Each structure stands twice: as C-alpha cells, then as structure tokens.
Amino acid sequence: MPLSSNGPRIAILGFAIESNRFAPVSTREDFEARAYLSGDALMTDARSAAPAMTPEIPAFVRDMDATGAWIPMPILFANAESGGPVEHGFFTHTLNVFEAGLRAALPLDAVYICEHGAAITTASDDPDGEVFALVRRIVGDAVPVVATVDLHANVSDLMVDSVDTLISYRRNPHVDMAERGADAARVVRELLAGGAVAVAHLRMPVCAPPTQLLTAPGTGPYADMIESAEALLDDPRIINISAVAGFVYGDTPKNGMTVIVTTRNDPAFAKHTALDLALPAWQGRSAFSPALTSLEHAVEMARDAGANPRLPPLCLADVADNPGGGGRGNTPYLLQALLAAGAQHVILGVITDAALCAEAHQLPIGASFTARFNRDENTLYSDAFEAQATVIKHHAGQGIGRRGQLAGCRFDLGPSVLLKIDGIEVVVISNRHQCHEPMFFEMFGLDIAAARTVVVKSRGHFRAAFDEFFKPAQIYSVDAPGLTSPVLSRFDFQRLPRPVVPMDEMDAWEPNVRLLAKRKIT
C-alpha cells in the first residue's frame, strides 16, 4: 500500500547517454545542451505539449496521471547526444545529486529510472549499473524499482540484479519510447499491488553493428527475436520481455545481446522463454555481418539519378558518421566524392560545424564564400576541407519534430545554415545531432520529394521519418570512414568478451541462464 493517502510517492531520475569508446570525451556541457532537468523543471517539461526530453518520462507521467492520485518526486534527468566516455567527475557529481535527491524524497513507494543503458565514463565500464545499485541501496529491497533502457543498452548483471523489472525498447528505429515509458508505469502499479517476480537473464556472444539490428519484419534474426517476444506478451505469466541488442562501440565486458524475461513468479517459464528466443537468433548469426554499399558505387548511383529522372531517387545513409552513435557528424568523404563526381539535385545533411555556421550567419543571403569545414575540429576522421559555397538560408535551428522518433518533440540544432555547393544543397548545424527528422531539411524550405539523392548522417533512425519518401529498396548504407563504421575490424576493441559474433568464428555456444527470484512485495 502507498505510504501516503494522496497516492504513491514515486521518484523519477535518469542518466542517459550512449557512449562510444572511440569518440571524444562527453562533458557536462553535452548534457546541458540536450536535457539536464531537475525538480519542478523536470515535471514541467514532462507535462509540456512538446517536451525537450526523450518520450519515456513524459509517457510515464501521463500514464500515472491518468490512473489515479500519485506524488511524483522528480530528482534529475540528464541526457546527452551519443558521444565518447563521460568525464568521470561529472558522473560522480550526478550520482551525488541522485543520492541527495533520493534521501530527501524518502520515504518512497517506488522509483522509475530512465536510462539509455550504454554509458561508460573515463573511469567506469558500468555507470548505469552504479546508478541502479545506488537507487537500490538507498530505497532498500522493499521498494519497487523499474527501469527503461534503449534497445542498444549494454546490460550488466548489476543492472538486472538491482531492479525489479528492466524494460527495453522493442523498435529500431526507436518509435516506441513512449510506449515503454507507459509500460514502466503499468509495471510500477502492479508491483505496488504486491506479488513475486522471477527473472531469467541470458547474455549471448553477439556484438553486432547497429546496421544489422533493425526490427522491421524480415530484416534479420534480431527482428525475428523481437517478433517472437511480442507474440508472448499476452501470456498471463509474463510481466515483460526485453531482447536488448547492445551497443558494440561501448567496448565493455558487459557487451552482448541480452534477453531478460520477467515473469509473475514462474522461474522455469522465464528460463524456457529466454532460451526459446535466443537460440533461433544464434542459429541465424551469419546475418549479423554487415552488407554495405561501397562509396564509389553510391556516388555512381547518385550521379546517375541526378542525370536521369526516370531512375528512382535514392537515400544514402552515411552510417559510419552517425552522431546517434557517437560520430562527430562532420566527416567529409561522401560530400567530397559527390562533388568530385558532379552529382546534381542532392540534399545532404546534417553536418555539424559551429564555426562555419557562425561565419555564414554573418554573410547575407546569396553571398558566395569559401566554406572551410572542420577548421576547429581535430578528432579522428574530422578532415578539414574547403569548397566554394553560396548562402541560401539562415535558421535559428529550433523546431518540433514531424515524424518518427522526434515526432512532437522539441529540438535545437543551434544556429544553422543552408549552403549550395555546385549541385548539392548542404545543411550545416551547430549542435551535433543525427539527421533523423525531415524537418531538419524542411525548415530551410527544401523539398525532399523533389531531390534525386538525399544523404543523411544517420545510421537507421531516419528510416522511421523518411519512409514517406523512400522505400527500403531505395536506401543504401554507405561504406565510408567514421567512428560508427559497421566494419568492426577497423576498431581496436580491448574490453569485449571475446569470442563474439560477427568478429570471431564461433561454431558452438553453451547458454548460461541466470535465474533471479525477486523478493515478494507487500
């Protein structure tokens, strides 16, 4: 029963970032640029018409609001665009904020944690586990703790051990974040009503590149696993099933595709279900190796599409420079190759270059100038280059998403500019962000449907928003250098639990299912 007659007191907190071991260090400023919300500001944003935060917490709040009285105890939600390891001092400060806020909020009836699940810091391989364990230590074993994580989380034993139910996304692109937040509210209410929970936890020796982890039907063994899991969700024995793909670029000992089955006190069924989901995916493991389009062939197709209107338009995904996976959003290789080939009727974006945007905003519309890309960036693959460009339009970079993952959410790309370089219209932004929203182009007046080739710096989330323009057969993942290249042999992995597919040849695997009997909640 709730401790308060006005409804359960439920704390809300989260530390959400996907960390790429090979990208530059992420700092407090990266979180403040995206979402760093505490106390009343967290609840105000969660209940706003167009939140800045990701959709899980707003959906959790809406669902709780709709089902009776409750007392939200907002602590802190810190979220950043995917980047490198988080500066450990900032993470330690965040833990301190969590601890102080939780202790001040006691007594609590439940806690909802909203994380990404693939964080690392400059000193820790499992900061998500540290957050989960901190919460459990403060609130004790009698308080239900429920967490949501991204489909690309790297799930540690500590994470699973510290919460009653761990819920991951089931869609890639991630168009179901709000649904999973609502699931968390449902599970919290069930746990508050009492009952025993049994969990099966199984990690697979699979560390696939994100290009192989789409969830549309027929796209591979991971999609099949998700489909099979969803077919079981109406079984009254099931509380939740999470098939978590993982994020290989985290390069941690906890990497590996993970299945977590949470049941209503039925450990045998939990174990059986976890094995039934994992083994078919293991049998289809050859599909976890990427199939990419060479840079040369991609450019040839773009040149031909621009010259021949009878050919279908195409979308080229610069998957190796995906800011949504830690890429810097500024590698020049595809743009340079398209310019060299004389490709026409091309839209390309979004390129992150704050210095170039600042210069272009000082110039009048129609001005011609030498655009110097990456003058201030010296990270790997951020090669500097110059091109003659014309300023077409300035924009403050703020808007609301129209479709897909960002639908209804506020975004802020910072001062932005549309440049024309020969036959290519290039959108340049100040705040690093992957291109997964048509508004990133449309706010400049660009007609996506009229373009012959559209180039996006994104791995896969754009598919949920650009599907009104391109069928899957028109989309090509291009093989170019970058911090998120699907060609995993290009990275110096040091911490992965080898051997793993697809980097190593593996003919056999002996599954090890961990069974956890969670305490009875009264």
Alpha helices in 87-238 (DSSP H): 88-105, 127-139, 157-162, 177-192, 221-231
Once rounded to an integer, what is the mean pLDDT over residues 107-119? Answer: 98
Could you tell me what percent of the chain has a pLDDT over 70? 98
Once rounded to an integer, what is the mean pLDDT over residues 142-148? Answer: 97
What's the pLDDT band for 522 if we cut at 50, 70, 90?
very low
What's the pLDDT band for 518 if we cut at 50, 70, 90?
confident
Kindly tell me if the per-residue pLDDT of 521 is higher than 50.
no
Q: What is the pLDDT of residues 336-369, one digit of tens each?
A: 999 999 999 999 999 999 999 999 999 999 999 9
β-strand 293-294 against 475-479: which pairing, if any?
Answer: parallel
Mean model confidence pLDDT for the chain: 96
Once rounded to an integer, what is the mean pLDDT over residues 81-87? Answer: 97
Once rounded to an integer, what is the mean pLDDT over residues 435-445? Answer: 96
Could you tell me the residue ranges of all domains in the chain? 9-288+512-517, 293-485
pLDDT at residue 377, as a whole number: 87
pLDDT at residue 160, as a whole number: 98
Kindly tell me if the per-residue pLDDT of 378 is higher than 80.
yes
Once rounded to an integer, what is the mean pLDDT over residues 306-310? Answer: 97
CA 164, CA 92: separation in Å to the nearest integer?
A: 24
Beta bridge partners of 373: 385
pLDDT at residue 473, as a whole number: 96
**In what order do the strands lie in the sheet containing 238-244?**
238-244, 258-263, 198-203, 513-517
Amino acid at 372: R
Chain centroid, CA 146 distance in Å? 19
What's the pLDDT band for 195 if we cut at 50, 70, 90?
confident
Angle at 255 between CA 250 and CA 260, to 5 degrees: 130
Q: Which residue in this structure is represented by tokens 């091109």?
A: 387
**Cis before residue 332, ω within 30 degrees of 0?**
no
CA 14, CA 114: separation in Å to the nearest integer?
A: 5
Kindly tell me if the per-residue pLDDT of 4 is higher than 80.
no
Token pair, residue 386, equals 């110059």
300: Cβ contacts below 8 Å, ≥ 6 apart: 341
Once rounded to an integer, what is the mean pLDDT over residues 133-143? Answer: 97
DSSP 474: G
The dihedral formed by the CA atoms of 347, 349, 355 and 358, expressed in degrees to the nearest 10: 60
CA 467, CA 475: separation in Å to the nearest integer?
A: 10
CA 311, CA 296: separation in Å to the nearest integer?
A: 18
Kindly tell me if the per-residue pLDDT of 2 is higher than 70.
no
Once rounded to an integer, what is the mean pLDDT over residues 206-220? Answer: 96
Kindly tell me if the per-residue pLDDT of 243 is higher than 50.
yes
